[in-house]
A and B are shown apart, each in its own frame.
Chain A
Amino acid sequence: GENVEQHPSTLSVQEGDSAVIKCTYSDSASNYFPWYKQELGKRPQLIIDIRSNVGEKKDQRIAVTLNKTAKHFSLHITETQPEDSAVYFCAAQLNFGNEKLTFGTGTRLTIIP
């Protein structure tokens, strides 16, 4: 089955700087890659997603890039703010018919004021 690796496990960034989280996946048939933000004790919230037919997607301060050949994708957060502090998970979905998501191990992002 699909295997998703995520790095780093923890990340501390000065407020205003950028944060980058990277994930790799194993199954080349995966074609949907969402990123979730989870605050303590809360549900995961989708912050951005990308399909395999697109190399990059941006939504204000958040962007995701995908390299299908290398089977890795990255989350970029610019101009970080204290409220960006949370745990971030990447995930991969095998194909549209099989909706099962495989999650990465998570990155605890701390924004230092």
Chain B
Amino acid sequence: GAVVSQHPSWVICKSGTSVKIECRSLDFQATTMFWYRQFPKQSLMLMATSNEGSKATYEQGVEKDKFLINHASLTLSTLTVTSAHPEDSSFYICSARDPGLAGRNEQFFGPGTRLTVL
């Protein structure tokens, strides 16, 4: 199946700094990617929909100025957590659907990025 990668797999940063997470579709082009956040023992919560060449669509309650999303190419979306605080510590996961798989709705997930803010 289609492969989605994320980098880094884990990151530790100081409070107040910014962290960038990359999500790449390795063998397909994705016009749309999705960013999720997952706190321990909780479900995946959609943060935003990343659209190639246009602005991201954020879910209610997600601060767009704090979680900057850039989808500059058909294979790369980035999420930047600006001025990170300990409450931003979470597991961040991206996903994408391969439009080349006609008739299939399946979304492929990246391996996730564990962010710890000290």
| Chain B contact surface mostly | strand
The number of residues on chain B lying at the interface, defined by a beta carbon within 8 Å of a beta carbon of chain A, is 20
* Residues of chain B contacted by A43 (CB below 8 angstroms): 93, 109-112
B54 within 8 A of A: no
Task: Check if B106 sits within 8 Å of A34, measured CB to CB.
Answer: yes
Alpha-carbon distance A46/B107, docked complex (angstroms): 8
Contact pattern, A 41-72, Cβ under 8 Å of B = 1, otherwise 0? 11111100101000000000000000000000
* Residues of chain B contacted by A100 (CB below 8 angstroms): 34, 46, 49
* Residues of chain A contacted by B106 (CB below 8 angstroms): 34, 46, 49
Task: Check if B43 sits within 8 Å of A104, measured CB to CB.
Answer: yes
Using CB atoms, name the residue of chain A closest to B94.
Answer: A43
Contact pattern, B 29-46, Cβ under 8 Å of A = 1, otherwise 0? 000101000000011111
B109 touches which one: A41, A44, A96, A106 (CB < 8 A)?
A: A44
Interface footprint category on A: 20 to 34
* Residues of chain B contacted by A101 (CB below 8 angstroms): 34, 46, 95, 107
Task: Check if B107 sits within 8 Å of A42, measured CB to CB.
Answer: no
* Residues of chain A contacted by B97 (CB below 8 angstroms): 99
* Residues of chain A contacted by B93 (CB below 8 angstroms): 43-44
Using CB atoms, name the residue of chain B closest to A108.
Answer: B41
Q: Beyond the given A49-B105, A99-B105, could you list 9 further A-B residue pairs with CB under 8 A, ordered by the A residue number? A: A32-B105, A42-B112, A44-B44, A44-B93, A100-B46, A101-B95, A101-B107, A103-B45, A105-B43
